Amino acid sequence: MQIINATADRLDALAELFDAYRQHYEQAPDVPGAREFLSERLERNDSVIYLAEDSGEVLGFTQLYPVFSSIGMKRAWILNDLFVKPDARQKGAARALLAKARELGQESGSRYLMLQTHFSNKPARALYESTGWKLDEEFGYYYLSI
């Protein structure tokens, strides 16, 4: 298995996987919309997307968005998406993607990486904690839908 940067030549496979990820969160299927969204992210360099591949098959992905820490006066990253095909789980793809995300943070001199997951997502929480992520119990996260 290898972790690579997503590029336009793998956009179709990524869009299929991204659509499966969205459906996991009860969104309607929309592969063309997923392809358009991801294509725009890649063209504009809005995010960093890594793919886990094995023998040319895309098994999973993670997408990180840059933000900045005003207090720390450094870059930071939001690990917004992490998904591995159900039939490819428990083979190390998610761990490898998280390791690559950590490497991005280190190489870019970032203050931190952050992510959110639902409290009921016990497998993901166990994975994050086993790879060094800490749950912030001090601060709450708020959303304003527009």
Tens digits of residue pLDDT in 36-79: 999 999 999 999 999 999 998 999 999 999 999 999 999 999 99
Q: What is the pTM of this model?
A: 0.93
141 in a domain, yes or no? no
In a domain, 140, yes or no: no
Q: What's the CA gap between 78 and 91, in Å, rounded?
A: 24
**pLDDT tens-digit profile of 4-47?**
999 999 999 999 999 999 999 999 999 999 999 999 999 999 99
Whether residue 135 is contained in a domain is answered as no
Residue 138 resides in a domain:
no
**Domain count along the chain:** 1
Helix axes 11-24, 31-44, angle to 10 degrees: 120
- Is residue 122 a contact partner of residue 133, using CB atoms and an 8 Å limit? no
| Domain assignment of residue 109, yes or no | yes
CATH number of the domain at 39, please: 3.40.630.30
Flag whether 100 is in a domain. Answer: yes
- Which domain, by its residues, includes 62? 2-130
